[in-house]
Amino acid sequence: MAAFVQAQAESAVAQANSWLAAAGVDASIPAPPEQFGLYAGAVVAGYGLYRAGNALFSGRDELLIPLPVEASEDWKPTQFLKDAAPQDPLNANVIRTYDKFTHAVLGSGAVPVCSPADVREAVAKARVAQRQWAQTNFEERREVLRYMQDYITAHQREICVIASRDTGKTLVDGAFGEVLVTCEKISWTLQHGEQALRTEYRKTGMIMSHKTARVEYIPLGVMGAIIPWNYPFHNLFGQIISAIFAGNAIVVKASEYATWSSLAYLRIVHTILDHFGIDRNLVQIVTGFGPTGAALVESGVDKLVFIGSPGVGKLVMKAASNNLTPVVLELGGKDAAIICEDCDFDQAVNLALRGTFQNCGQNCIGLERLIVHEGVYDKMVATLAPKVQALVQGCPADGDVDCGAMTMGVASAQKIEELVQRAVAQGARCLAGGMMHQGQQGVAGYMTPTLLVDVTPDMDIAQHEVFGPVMTVMKARDDADAVRIANSVEYGLGSSVFSRNYARAERIANQLTTGMCNINDFGVNYLCQALPFGGVNISGFDRFAGVEGLRGCCLMRSITSDRFPGVRTNIPPPLQYPVKAAGFAFCESLVNLFYADSLWTKVKAAFNLATL
């Protein structure tokens, strides 16, 4: 089946390229890589046809957006940093930008740090731009998103190369985590965003049957977002898409570890805004370290999204309370996959590997724990060990690799290595990896793909978010034990359950203390963009994505009006000031008329109301 779809994908892409040529478009869709698989092959074919259709029928101009020279895989660096880190020891007013594999200087090598005054100015300019943008209709907003989608689908590789250089990920990790999810978010918003934000009429009770009741979704004004480095393209665009479609402006504080890529991606947005004559201050990035983020929290934005650690999330919430700024907190996870003995074994193995090692494990919804039923535990361990041992790690420029580098470098890899060593000392077995290294050039921070088995809930590595390429396998006696282990952590973001018995899988899923769960899958809830994204406990609260996330970018305003002209609410005489002696009796009868169960009580209440 996979071979058939691969062939169909290649055929579809060839057809799409012929349409592009016929349309006079100087671009082509790359052929699907060999053995790219059923799912990815179909995706490439679909996007190929989508792009060709746009070129032929949309009538949209293809915008020329200059990307940095480092977006080319043929780029040859000439300058390198020693002891690379975003902080410059000689100048606290800049962020150093560098390739996470080679420590080659990216761009100018230094980006100015925004002061608190700079942040306040950015928010003020965004507020001016938003007033004009809020007057646009949904079709005008959709057209902006369509231009984004066009550009992304035509420049997937460059987008992924930029992310790879700045964060250390592989190109395939970028394709999954940067491009695919962003395209799906745009697609969902184009199709369903207006419906989610359209004025919604609600039913009234009998007592208010003469009124209409509706909810209107009004733009909040200026959104703020503090985003992490693990997916610089998607984390940026994901917030922009929802904010501007809802009629807001947005100011984003980019991570100091992904400043260069974030600013490169901002060019795409600004060029599209320029094309429509929209003030580019509608979407802005402020750059810096912790103080810049703190300034954004206190800048007077109308709502703030923070994606990061629980510790910093608490500080953000505390600072936001000074202005009572509402916050969305997405604070990471310790996601578990419960693998039952009646699972589709090969599927569970493949998804466990992708869920653990995607983006070198630097995922908030990565699988940090595999909880395997004892009936299939030994088989699972024996199957995983050679596969993890065979994973190739390195820089994409050196060839095909499975895992890249740690974005935060040697310090991050050392921390993970210490967690692994402590787990082994506590009784776990390390069957693959377990060590950090610095790559062929001796500068990057790599943590080898690691397999830890016989892990127990009392071990540190079972309780703390690793955020690295470490697969931890835990044994469960039965379903109840699996649920107990899964719920033994403070986090509660995502989860997975693998079983061919769907009733069993649903029973297990219903007992998990998480904001999201995927049955017989991993992480696909985020590819279902109709669903809200978020967790419970120290994984945070509120949601982005889905209907709820889009509406969260709005003031939900409740409005009533008269259902029938001339029929209006008035205050009955017994309740008019000064209140009459019969006032309470009138209220009592009114309640009985509408809410008493007894028909006789209702009849008496109606009589009393008529005579009071």
Cβ neighbours of residue 333 closer than 8 Å, sequence gap 6 or more: 364, 365, 366, 368, 465, 491, 492, 493, 494, 514, 535, 539
C-alpha dihedral (40, 44, 49, 53), degrees to nearest 10: 120
105-113 contacts at long range (C-beta below 8 A, 24 or more positions apart): 105/77, 105/79, 105/80, 105/81, 106/68, 106/70, 106/165, 106/166, 106/260, 107/68, 107/70, 107/260, 107/263, 109/79, 109/81, 111/259, 111/260, 111/263, 111/287, 112/287, 113/287, 113/288, 113/289, 113/292
Q: 403 - beta bridge partners? A: 393
Return d(Cα 273, Cα 462) in angstroms, integer: 46
Q: Nearest-CA neighbor of 161 among 224, 118, 99?
A: 99
**Where do the H-state alpha helices sit in 255-367?**
259-275, 290-297, 310-320, 345-357
Residue-by-residue DSSP string for 436-485: EE-TTTT-S-EE--EEEES--TTSHHHHS---SSEEEEEEESSHHHHHHH
Return d(Cα 260, Cα 111) in angstroms, integer: 8
Any idea how long the chain is? Answer: 612
Which DSSP helix (H) or strand (E) runs through 496? strand 495-498
Catalytic residue among 256, 330, 368, 417: 330
Q: Is 330 noted as a catalytic residue in this protein?
A: yes
Which amino acid is residue 32, in one-letter code?
Answer: P
572-575 contacts at long range (C-beta below 8 A, 24 or more positions apart): 574/612
Residue indicated by tokens 């997405």 = 330
Return d(Cα 470, Cα 461) in angstroms, integer: 10
Beta strand segments in 499-581, E: 518-519, 540-541, 554-562
Which amino acid is residue 127, in one-letter code?
Answer: R
3-state secondary structure of 274: helix
Return d(Cα 389, Cα 454) in angstroms, integer: 17
Return d(Cα 323, Cα 236) in angstroms, integer: 25
Return d(Cα 84, Cα 412) in angstroms, integer: 13
Using alpha carbons only, how large is the chain's radius of gyration in Å?
Answer: 28
Q: 72 - beta bridge partners? A: none
Residues 577, 530 contacting (CB under 8 angstroms):
no
Active-site positions? 330
